[in-house]
Structure 1
């Protein structure tokens, strides 16, 4: 079980690193910003809430707590620098809702409960 968790963390790191690299190369930070929001939501929804639910240690809880507030600060500063509006930030969520949920293809990927 531990080996699979390590592989998942490595894949997550590689994916976010590639998104960051290509965002820097092509000067398009919209994808990076969305991925970083996903990372912060991952901290809260997966690690912190699971720790509260199971009333015990969940791998990654210490890292999540340590990096949660600096991560929110980085998002705030990035929003100021990149001048993203609230509608721009919500655009990927609207796309997901319109394309996947309304078409029913999300059941293929296990996104609906």
Structure 2
């Protein structure tokens, strides 16, 4: 089960987080993205546990817990949306008929619309 662990302190290391998750089960994969410009770790990580039960136990253990001064948000990671055109929904073209603007000028004595003079 792949977990998303959010609201991590920038001081939290992989070793500290791995130690905290060791009680839940075996960690298969750990990924903590870094900022492209600064190289510092970002405030979240993806951890893959060896089983569904281990992942659920890790969520129960850590979700909402204070960790390095921050309250963690732990849940099952969602699949990343693809940018491939075949994965996107088809676009539907909707042609809206042109409507004539409503002419709400008052009628004159001759039955024609009164024409306003420009300023």
More helix, by proportion:
1
Bigger relative contact order, structure 1 or 2, given CA contacts below 8 A and separation 6+? 2
TM-score of Structure 1 vs Structure 2, range by shorter chain? under 0.3
So what's the TM-score if we normalise by structure 2? 0.25
So what's the TM-score if we normalise by structure 1? 0.26
More strand, by proportion:
2
